[in-house]
Chains A and B, each alone.
Chain A
Amino acid sequence: MKIKPAFTEQIVKKILFISTAFTVLILLFIIFYILKNGLSVIDLEFLLTSPKELGRAGGIFPCIIGTILLPLIAIIIATPLGVGTAIYLTEYKREGRLTRIIRFGTECLAGVPSIIFGLFGFVLFVIYLGFGWSILSGGLTLAFMILPTIIRTSEEAIRAIPYSYREVSLSLGGTKWQTITRVVLPSALPGIVTGVILGIGRSVGETAAVIFTAGSSLRVPASLFDSCRTMAVHFYILAREGISMENAYGTAAILIIAILFINLVSYWLMHRFMAKFS
């Protein structure tokens, strides 16, 4: 007997729907599982005191500082490079061999695994340039890692700005650079910020590239040349060495909340931005 196409259609649709629902459930499960076990650990003391006995007791204050400082250094370095690249690709160069090469380089860099960044940052910054395990080494390594994200998002944002804006500015006697800085970049700003925020998100969750460049000191850093431990690294050490499951859950919960927040903000920004220009 031949199965009717309409019947197959129904079955296929159900299977596809169930698969999608399953995927979304995995995400929700991870989030709820971590939050359920971790939220009860979080209180002001947990946030504002230093760890005791390697993290068995006490809070995670130094790790929060580390998690703020490393991405901060990273975006301070990566944003000008990334936006500059995006401007060059969109405003100065016609599509051609050069833009293809640069774009290919960006794609490749985006695909480089974080452990390779860790190795590289370790030889270049920690050893060769003598920065040691430090916030600076970690921040620089992260900057290289998030550069492709910032380039791609900025490029997309700059491309979304109507061509007529540029024409108007040029026809009013603006130079190319004036047109870029006074019309194109201000209009593209929300999109560019989205890329920066996504870069922060990646940095916050990163472990492999950070642990070999910023180290894992539990002291509150006093300078850029001090080692520090981010929340992700702290969580990894707590969980893998079985130091304290309770504090591991607490740290993970803060990490998850931060990631959720960062992603929601960037999504909201990009959504609003794209709605305005398309």
Chain B
Amino acid sequence: MKYNERLIQSGLLITAFSTIAILILIGVFILKEGLPVILKVGIKDFICGVNWSPIEEQFGIFPMIMGSIWITAGALLFSLPLSLACAIYLAEFSTPKIGKILKPTIELLAGIPSVVYGFMGMVILFPLIRNYLGGPGPCILAASIILGIMILPTITSISIDSLQAVPYSYREGSLALGATRWQTVKMVVLPAARSGIIAGIILGVGRAVGETMAVIMIAGNAVIIPDSILDPVRTLTTNIALEMNFATGEHRQALFATGIVLFIVIMLLNIIANLIAKRKVITK
């Protein structure tokens, strides 16, 4: 009996390490495939190079890095006010009943497949942009709006949780001093929930940087360094997805190398979000 129990515990310990094992496997395989080309080109030329031309063996991903930054910044600009407003409304102003219905409703946005988002961008945003702003349609603006909607549930949901985690006594204290609800939220609740909200925003950024299919469908995918929000761009993720099907040899390695950069960025964002979220616990 005792022996069995020990066996079970060891078995469970092994399963418990599965996520870490998978993470390591992912890291190892992507590094193995992608590192040779980075070393050959040189880290600096790979990251800062502006030429991406696999036929001429030119592998510089600077335009894609800029593309990812532009689109992510645009998505945040669009998403941040909206998602924070939703979170504050649902956590602080709506009746609990409405909050209970609307929170999962907004979270449902996260369940809609990214290809559907991309498609909505194509059929709804492209004509609007063509008619009112000019250009063919696919551009940073379209991708930012769609990505903004896609990361909205992440930021909203985590923010609601952080707001609700603020002890009720904080609010009572402020309200008892004659503050209005909004003053209380602004001066007491938001500062107290700050680290959780920031962690949520960082995770939202991670989602935006990592999104692929929706961006492929609406960002235009041209390898240029953009200077207007109506320019088409290619991101790190779409660079991989666009060329993976026909890439071979060094070209394919360069795509994995793009994956390495993406993986490192995402891991850093995760670590930062985790550290910030943890700080909240300690200061309490």
* Proximity bits, A140-183, B CB within 8 Å = 1, else 0: 00001001100100000000000000000000000111000000
How many angstroms from the CA of A179 to the CA of B90 in the assembled complex?
Answer: 40
In this complex, which of A17, A88, A176, A256 has the most chain B Cβ atoms within 10 angstroms of its Cβ?
A: A88
Q: Contacts A13-B93, A15-B85, A239-B217 given; indicate if A8 touches B104 (C-beta within 8 A).
A: no
* Proximity bits, B6-33, A CB within 8 Å = 1, else 0: 0011011101111110110110011011
Would B81 and A205 count as touching, CB distance under 8 A? no
How many angstroms from the CA of A176 to the CA of B9 in the assembled complex?
Answer: 10
Question: How many residues on A have C-beta within 8 angstroms of the other chain's C-beta atoms?
Answer: 80
A112 within 8 A of B: yes
Which residues in A have their C-beta under 8 angstroms from that of B8?
A: 177
A108 within 8 A of B: yes
Would A34 and B116 count as touching, CB distance under 8 A? yes
B262 within 8 A of A: yes
Q: How far is the CB of B254 from chain A (nearest CB, A)?
A: 12
Which residues in B have their C-beta under 8 angstroms from that of A89?
A: 16
Which residues of chain A in 100-132 are interfacial with respect to chain B, using CB atoms and an 8 Å cutoff? 101-102, 104-109, 111-120, 122-124, 128
Would B266 and A116 count as touching, CB distance under 8 A? yes
Closest to A13 in B: B93
Which residues in A have their C-beta under 8 angstroms from that of B117?
A: 30
* Proximity bits, A251-269, B CB within 8 Å = 1, else 0: 0100110011011000100
Closest to A124 in B: B29
Question: How many residues on B have C-beta within 8 angstroms of the other chain's C-beta atoms?
Answer: 84
Which residues in A have their C-beta under 8 angstroms from that of B206?
A: 111, 113
Which residues of chain B in 178-232 are interfacial with respect to chain A, using CB atoms and an 8 Å cutoff? 179-183, 203, 206-207, 209-213, 216-217
Which residues in A have their C-beta under 8 angstroms from that of B273?
A: 111
How many angstroms from the CA of A147 to the CA of B17 in the assembled complex?
Answer: 12
How many angstroms from the CA of A17 to the CA of B111 in the assembled complex?
Answer: 23
How many angstroms from the CA of A101 to the CA of B116 in the assembled complex?
Answer: 35
User: Which of A45-53, A57-65, A77-85, A220-228 is near enough to bind chain B?
Assistant: A77-85
B70 within 8 A of A: no
User: Which of B50-58, B165-173, B236-244 is near enough to bind chain A?
Assistant: B236-244
Would A116 and B30 count as touching, CB distance under 8 A? yes
In this complex, which of B88, B111, B256, B263 has the most chain A Cβ atoms within 10 angstroms of its Cβ?
A: B111
**Chain A at the B interface: mostly helix, strand, loop or mixed?**
helix
Would B259 and A119 count as touching, CB distance under 8 A? yes
Which residues in B have their C-beta under 8 angstroms from that of A236?
A: 115, 118, 213, 217
Closest to A248 in B: B119
Which residues of chain A in 166-213 are interfacial with respect to chain B, using CB atoms and an 8 Å cutoff? 175-177, 201-202, 204-208, 211-212
Q: How far is the CB of B57 from chain A (nearest CB, A)?
A: 21
How many angstroms from the CA of A18 to the CA of B41 in the assembled complex?
Answer: 52
Q: How far is the CB of B222 from chain A (nearest CB, A)?
A: 16
Which residues in A have their C-beta under 8 angstroms from that of B274?
A: 104, 107
A23 within 8 A of B: yes
Q: Contacts A116-B210, A177-B5 given; indicate if A111 touches B81 (C-beta within 8 A).
A: no
B112 within 8 A of A: yes
Which residues in B have their C-beta under 8 angstroms from that of A212?
A: 241, 244
Would A255 and B1 count as touching, CB distance under 8 A? no
How many angstroms from the CA of A123 to the CA of B260 in the assembled complex?
Answer: 14
Closest to A113 in B: B210
**Chain B at the A interface: mostly helix, strand, loop or mixed?**
helix
Would B120 and A33 count as touching, CB distance under 8 A? yes
Indicate which residue in A101, A201, A207 contacts B114 across the interface (CB closer than 8 Å).
A207
How many angstroms from the CA of A267 to the CA of B107 in the assembled complex?
Answer: 11
Q: Contacts A16-B85, A24-B102 given; indicate if A115 touches B259 (C-beta within 8 A).
A: yes
Would B29 and A252 count as touching, CB distance under 8 A? no
Q: How far is the CB of B123 from chain A (nearest CB, A)?
A: 8
Would B5 and A175 count as touching, CB distance under 8 A? yes
Which residues in A have their C-beta under 8 angstroms from that of B240?
A: 115, 118-119
Q: How far is the CB of A238 from chain B (nearest CB, A)?
A: 10
B77 within 8 A of A: no
A40 within 8 A of B: no
In this complex, which of B206, B241, B271 has the most chain A Cβ atoms within 10 angstroms of its Cβ?
A: B241
Would B16 and A84 count as touching, CB distance under 8 A? yes
Closest to A98 in B: B16
Indicate which residue in B93, B108, B115 contacts A17 across the interface (CB closer than 8 Å).
B93
Could you give 6 example pairs across A and B, Cβ below 8 Å? A5-B180, A5-B182, A27-B106, A113-B237, A116-B26, A120-B30
10 tightest Cβ-Cβ pairs between the two chains A and B:
A113-B210, A205-B113, A84-B15, A19-B85, A16-B89, A105-B20, A88-B16, A88-B12, A115-B212, A208-B212
Given A114-B212, A119-B256, A151-B19, 16 more A-B residue pairs with CB atoms under 8 Å apart are A5-B182, A19-B81, A20-B86, A23-B86, A27-B106, A80-B15, A81-B15, A102-B20, A112-B26, A114-B210, A201-B111, A206-B113, A207-B212, A208-B213, A252-B116, A263-B108
